[in-house]
Structure 1
Amino acid sequence: MHPTETVFTYASPDLKFGRGAALEIGHDLTAWGVRRVLLVTDAGVAAAGHPARVAEAMTSRGLDVTTYDGTHVEPTDESLAEAVGFASDEGPFDAVVAVGGGSSIDTAKAICLLATNPGELMDYLNAPVGQGRAPSEPLLPLVAVPTTTGTGSESTTICVLDVLSLKVKTGISHPALRPRLAVVDPQLSATQPAGVTAAAGMDILCHALESYTARWYASYDAKQPEQRVPYCGANPIADLWSERAMGLLAGAFRRAVNDGDDTAAREELALAATFAGLGFGNAGVHIPHANAYPIAGRVRDYVPADYPPGAPIVPHGMAVGLTAPAAFRFTFDAAPGRHVRAAHLLDPSVDGDGPGVLPDVLTRLMRDIGLPNGLAEVGYGHGDVDDLVEGALKQQRLLDTAPKPVTGEDLAQVISGSMEHW
C-alpha cells in the first residue's frame, strides 16, 4: 500500500478589494520599479471606459501605458498568438495589467509567459493536448483587475483557451501564472448585464462547490515537493473560502441578476467570486469544469442573451453550470455530508439529505436566474454525447480532482442526464 500525502499547499496573490481600488494600481506598480506597462482588455470592456480610466490613473503616476484591446472573448490559440505578437512588437514591458473578464486575464497570462520564456504556446499547454512544459524564466508581473464577477482567474494559476484545430478547450497550469496582485473593484462590474451576471455567477458557484467536494488532499499518494501541483485537493483552508463564498451566494446571487441596481448584491457577488477563487485556486475543480471545455469548444450556433453579437459561444460559466446538477448527483456517495452541507449553505430552508438535495437546489437557482434548461437548449442532443465525453476525458488533470474515479461511461451518464433540467 502506497503512503498517502500528509502536506497540502496554499497560495494566493496579493489582494486589494473595494470601490476605487482599480485607480490605485499606479501606486503599486511604481513601488515595484515598473515604468512601461501593457494594459490588456477587450473591445467591449474598453467601450465601457474602465480601461481608459485605469490607464489614465497609471499615467498620472508617471507610467508609460500601452493598451491592447484585441482580446477574444473565450480565447483561442490564434487570439493568444496575436496578443503575444502585439506585445513582442510593442515591448519590452516591465509589467502587464489585465482589465476585463477571465478572457482578458488569461490572455495577459499567456503574454506574461511567452514574453519571457522560449518556445510557443503549444509547448506549455497541458498534456496530452500540449507538451506541458514548465516555464524556465520568471514571468512578467501581472496585475489582474476583473470586470466580471465569476472567473476567479485573478487568483489562479490557470490560463484557459480553445485550440481551434482540435475543437478542444484546454489550458496552461503552473504556479508562475498566478497574478502578483489581484485588484477587485466592485464598481467595475456594476454595469454587467443580467445574462453575464448569471453565467459568471454560475462559475463562482461551481468553483466553490467543486473545490468543496473535491478529493481530499490526504487521499492522494505521497509526493515529493517538486511533484506537488497547485490543485492539491480539498483541504481545511480552501474549505473556509468555499463555504464563505456559498454563504454569500445564497443571499446575493438572485438579487444581483434580477436587480441590476442592487449595489450591495453586486459587491457581495464580487466578494464571493474572490473567495471562491482563493478556494479553488488551491483545491481544484472537477467534473462540471471538465465537461464545460468541450461544451464551450464545440458550440454550433448558440448565441446567448446579453453577450456581444457575433460568433456563437456558450459562455464558460454557463457551460460549467449546465452539467452541474447531474455531476453532483453522481459524486454524492463519495462525500454525502459535504454535498448536503453545500445545499444548506446555498439554501438554508432546504430539507432532505439524499443525493437529490444539491441538484434540486442548483436546478431551482438556474431556473430563477434564467440559465438555459440544459444542453438541448444550447444546441446539443443525445447524438453528441460521445463527442462531448471524448472532449471531457482529455481534462484528466481536472477529473483526477473528483472525489471518486470517473470513467467515460460515468461522464456519458452525467451528460445525457443534463439535456433537460426542468
Structure 2
Amino acid sequence: MSTVTTTPAADRTPVPDVFAPAKLGPLTLRNRIIKAATFEGATPDALVTDALIDYHVKPAAGGIGMTTVAYCAVAPEGRTDRHQIWMRPEAVPGLRRLTDAVHAEGAAVSAQIGHAGPVANAKSNRLPALAPGRLFSPLGMKMCKAATADDIRRVTEAHARAARLAVEAGFDAVEVHLGHNYLASAFLSPKLNRRDDAYGGSLENRAKVARGVVRAVREAVGDRIAVTAKLNMADGVPGGIWLTESIRTARWLEEDGCLDALELTAGSSLLNPMYLFRGDAPVPEFAAAFPQPVQLGIRLMGKRFLIPYPYQEAYLLEYARQFRAELDMPLILLGGITNRTTMDLAMAEGFDFVAMGRAILREPDLVNRIAADESRRSVKSLCIHCNKCMPTIYSRTRCVLVDPEPPRW
C-alpha cells in the first residue's frame, strides 16, 4: 500500500482536526467523516427494511459523522434496479424510522437522490431508461430513450419533490447525484451527449441538467437541510468528461450558490466502473450474480468492462487538488481514505470532509477505533480492496470476508 505525501495548503492553516465538529451548511456534524453512498441491496420491495436500517445504524454507532443512504431514485424509471427505493409518499414512514435510528446513535444522515439515466436497468424496471440520445445500455440490454425537454423538466421537478420528501422523512442532508454517467453526468459527457439542441454541444448547454436539478433541490428545501452533490472529475473513458470541463462545471455550481459542499468522484457505472473503485476486478463474482446468458457474457467479456486499476491511499487526490485550487466551496475527498494518516493529509490539503466506503463496510466501527488510537497512526483498515463486495449489491451489500452468505428475503 503506497502513501501519498504532500505539503499542506498554505492558505488553509491551521489544519482542522478531522474529529472535531464541523459545519455543513445549516448542519453541524460531530466530525468530518462521511460514509459514502454505496447501494445497500437491502430493499427488495423498494421500501425501507430492518436490514437497511441496520446497515446505517452500524456505522453511526461506529463513529461516523454522517451516513448516506443510497440510492433514492427520484422516479421509478431512474432506478438501476427495480428493488431500489424511489422517493414517494409510501417510502416516507420507513425512511423516518431509519433517520430516527441513525440520529439515536448521534450521527447525521443524508439521502442520495438522483436519476440513473442510461445506467438504469430498463428490463428490471420495466420502463424505458433515459439518456441524452438513443444508445444501447448493456446494463438493461435495451436501447435507451432520448430524453425530451418534457422529460428533463419532469426529472428536474422529481428531484425537487424527492428533496421535500427527504425533509419530511427527517434527513439532515441530500446528496444530488451528478456522477458516474447517471442522467445528469451523461448529459455532461461529450461522449454520451451528441445533442444539437439547448442541452447539447457546448459545455454550458451540457451542464444545464446538472445545474437545473441542483437549483430545483435548493429551492425546494431552502436552508432546512444541507445540500451536497457528487460530481465526476473524470469519466475514465476516451471522449468522456475530463478535468478541464469538470472544473468549469464545478465553478458554475459554486457560482449558482445552491450547494453546501461538493463530493469529488470519478468513473462511469455505464462504461468503466473500476476507475472509481481501484483494486481487484471481481469478474467471476460479478458473473455469478447473474443468470444465463448474461453470466456467460460477463465471463467472456467482463475483463473489457471491469478494468482493474492499482489501489493506493487517497487515489483521487491528484485530480481533486486541482479542484481545491480553483474553488472556495467546501469539498469532500473520496477514494482510498482508510486511516488517520490519509484523513490528516486530506485536511492538510484543504479538504473539508472525507468520505469512506469499502473500509466502513469491512469495519463499521473503524472510525471509533481510529479516534481512540492514541498514537493516531497504528489503526489500519482490514479492507484489502478485493472488491468482492461490489457484486453483492444484487443480494445484500456486504463484505464477503465477514459475511459470505447472502440473506434469504
Please state which structure has a larger fraction of its residues in strand.
2
Please state which structure has a larger fraction of its residues in helix.
1
TM-score (norm 1): 0.30
Report which structure shows greater RCO (CA 8 Å, sep ≥6): 2
